[in-house]
Structure 1
Amino acid sequence: MSEQENSLPQAPKWTDYKLPDLLFTDAVRQLHATIGKEWDALQQSACQTAAGRALWRHVIHDPLADLLAGEKYLRSLHEKIKKDCINNASEISGVILAVRTLWVDSKLEEALHPSHGKDTQVVLLGAGMDTRAYRLGCLKECDVFEVDLPEVLQMKASLLQAAMEYTSDHQNQRIIAKSLTRVDADIKGNDWLEKLKVSGYEPEKNTVWILEGILYYLTHPQAMQVLKIIADKCKITRTTLLADFMNKPSTTLSNSLFHFYSDWPDHLLPSLGFSHVKLSQIGDPDAHFGLLHDPSNLFNRLRSLPRSIHTNPDGTPCCRLYLVTASGSPNQTLEPVDLSLNIST
């Protein structure tokens, strides 16, 4: 048995979950009512992600997740989880969000290791309801920038303020990062980088860029523009990208809001200027975290198939989520890419 299997997290008692009283205060309810009425599906996905972090609390420490998710999304995901448990499902709803969160957390900590230099800034594009600046100790020496639409950032600030007014214990609302700057900008547009610079981002400083749960909502030209802007920074300073990519079948599902895809992000990113790229799939050794107990789960089945296959043996789309780390710096050269590669690893 591997070390990872020896340290499996204890399975939670999903039925014991209780919504925190804070969610039933007038202020918080009114704010989440506004989200329900005025936010589009992309903006609301930020609350869905927060719900995943809240309900997988046995492996993710995010005390603010309940508040930012809201009653609607917490109840919805909790019902799905309970049904999965009753049906002995091979994977539990929300596990993909939990794995993705833990993967980004772990890769961010690696990227901020002292051997890579202490003077590093972190930029979250499409930050949504992210709270890493409040919960990760590895950010204590980092300037953090959250970039998103003004209504999203203002709503998050309003929810955090409502929580501070509700309780005298403000421990969870304290920023751990050296600094946190919220930047009102739409990464679909052309001016977000300039707004980031005006807000204090320094192009010459080592930077970790996080694109979590956002790229596939963009059109192909929009996503490529964002990736090219980040890749260009490799010519100036040590640059690290942490991002998740969908493959083409994932964007063809009915009612899909997804547009951008890449079946081979480990080929795409070197072509843009990143010198080192590592790709993982859910269930790989660095993207497992002891959360996928059933050997027959969906993600293990996907990993057993070549990445070039777009249709499962049963005829359903072969939908994959790739977790990708890419980096580069002025003194690094591009590694050769084997374009004939079509295996799952």
Structure 2
Amino acid sequence: MSGEEAHQKSMADSAWLEELQLPQVLISERVRSLHATIEQEWDYLRRSACQTAAGRALWNHVIHDPLAAVLAGESYLRSLYEKMRQDRLSNAREVSGVILAVRTLWFDSRIEAAINSFGDRGAHQVVLLGAGMDARAYRLSCLKESIVFEVDFPELLQIKASLLKEMMASSKDQQIVMIAKSLVRVAADLREGDWIEELQKRGFVPTRNTVWVLEGILYYLSHLHAMQVLEVIAANCNLTHTVLLADFMNKSSVSLSNSTFHFYSDWPDHLLPTLGYCHVKLSQLGDPDAHFGLLHDPQNLFNKLRSLPRSMETHPEDGTPCRRLYLVEASGGPSQDS
């Protein structure tokens, strides 16, 4: 690590240890009421959207997401902040939330690259399946010419819209504006077979170049439902230039919580070509395109796993399961030369 990198790391460490500063709007009666509904009525799958937003809010030295804190809510921010603070104080090799930070940055970069790959081929769409509390339509400049669709449970989209409304109404220091060309929220359950029809009813055009974003969603689905989603998207490759961006857990990762996680693939780069995707690139956390300067320590969990064959199920040093998260980009098109 160079002297400049060490200085930057020291500054970042100091920032983590500062008292958590919450946006004023979080303590408003309306926002507190909305987050109370989330705590009381949502299941773990829906609440995981707030956990993801908390990660983006608290890793704000690498992710610029001014809406994330309000979408996360106070309880999730405080919980993750305390874990991060303890990790920093104990010099942990992996600070809590770093997976969310790397994952977010990888998807951001690949969305931009996918849009650029369309060139001048006309209008394009970006579909966020299981969008949760994602605010990319408000923060990614690469989406300025994109028609963005957010697909998720109706009650989640409704509360998200209400939180954003409160945030925009209370924002005095900076104006919160949508960057995407347009944003369409589609209420649908990916476990139901009609989600693609609901998407089309709201203006999705199957023949238009499309980026499909499946961040942090596939492993919550059953094997049957996850495969159905992947097959529906793969069918789009027969109609237009199609890019799939998704993260996959391996079997050992799913075993972390058999009641929460279900679908897994140890070899998604072998699976996707059988469905119709002609180009597949797989990355692991810590790879050159999937660390973003956040995983320097060669002895951190992710770098140690990368040095082992993917077929190895347990670590030879301590016998622990080799739990991996794969970041996968797949593409295809009618001519299969995309």
TM-score category of the 2 structures, normalised to the smaller one: over 0.9
Shift of 1:21: 1.5
Matches of 2:309 and 2:117 in 1, distance apart? 37
- CA RMSD in angstroms, aligned pairs only: 1.9
User: What per-residue deviation string (whole Å, max 9, x for no partner) do you get for residues 152-208 of structure 1?
Assistant: 000100111112232345622x11000000000001101000000000000000000
Matches of 1:211 and 1:115 in 2, distance apart? 19
Shift of 1:333: 5.7
Q: Which runs of 5+ in 2 are unaligned?
A: none
User: What per-residue deviation string (whole Å, max 9, x for no partner) do you get for residues 91-144 of structure 1?
Assistant: 110000000000000000001116533521000000000000000010000100
Equivalenced residue count is 331
Other-structure match for 1:48? 51
Other-structure match for 2:331? 327
Q: Secondary structure at the match of 1:102?
A: helix
Q: Which of 150, 171, 184 matches 2:154?
A: 150
Q: Which of 293, 315, 323 matches 2:296?
A: 293
1:93 and 2:96 correspond = yes
1:309 and 2:312 correspond = yes
1:136 and 2:140 correspond = yes
Identity %: 66
Q: Is the 8 A contact 1:146 1:181 kept in 2?
A: yes
Q: Secondary structure at the match of 1:267?
A: helix
Q: Is the 8 A contact 2:67 2:167 kept in 1?
A: no
Q: Is the 8 A contact 2:282 2:328 kept in 1?
A: yes
Pairing 1:106-185 to 2, within 5 Å after superposition: 106-113=109-116, 116=119, 117-168=121-172, 171-172=175-176, 174-185=177-188
Q: Which of 274, 277, 280 matches 1:274?
A: 277
Q: Is the 8 A contact 2:137 2:183 kept in 1?
A: yes
Q: Is the 8 A contact 2:315 2:321 kept in 1?
A: yes
User: What per-residue deviation string (whole Å, max 9, x for no partner) do you get for residues 41-87 of structure 1?
Assistant: 00000000000000000000100000000001100100100111111
Other-structure match for 2:227? 224
Q: Is the 8 A contact 2:220 2:262 kept in 1?
A: yes
Matches of 1:290 and 1:142 in 2, distance apart? 29
Matches of 1:307 and 1:6 in 2, distance apart? 32
Other-structure match for 1:265? 268
Shift of 1:307: 0.5
Q: Is the 8 A contact 2:55 2:101 kept in 1?
A: yes
Q: Which of 245, 251, 255 matches 1:252?
A: 255
Matches of 1:118 and 1:203 in 2, distance apart? 14
Give me the TM-score of the superposition, normalised by structure 1.
0.92
Other-structure match for 1:339? none
Shift of 1:320: 0.3
Q: Which of 315, 322, 325 matches 1:318?
A: 322
Other-structure match for 1:62? 65
Q: Secondary structure at the match of 2:320?
A: coil
Q: Is the 8 A contact 2:118 2:209 kept in 1?
A: no
Other-structure match for 1:11? 12
- Note closer, same or farther for the CA distance 1:115–1:8 as it changes in structure 2 (3 Å cut): farther
Give me the TM-score of the superposition, normalised by structure 2.
0.94
Q: Which of 18, 32, 37 matches 2:35?
A: 32
Matches of 1:94 and 1:62 in 2, distance apart? 15
User: What per-residue deviation string (whole Å, max 9, x for no partner) do you get for residues 204-261 of structure 1?
Assistant: 0000000000000000000000000000100100000000000001111256510000
Matches of 2:227 and 2:257 in 1, distance apart? 24
- Note closer, same or farther for the CA distance 1:6–1:215 as it changes in structure 2 (3 Å cut): same
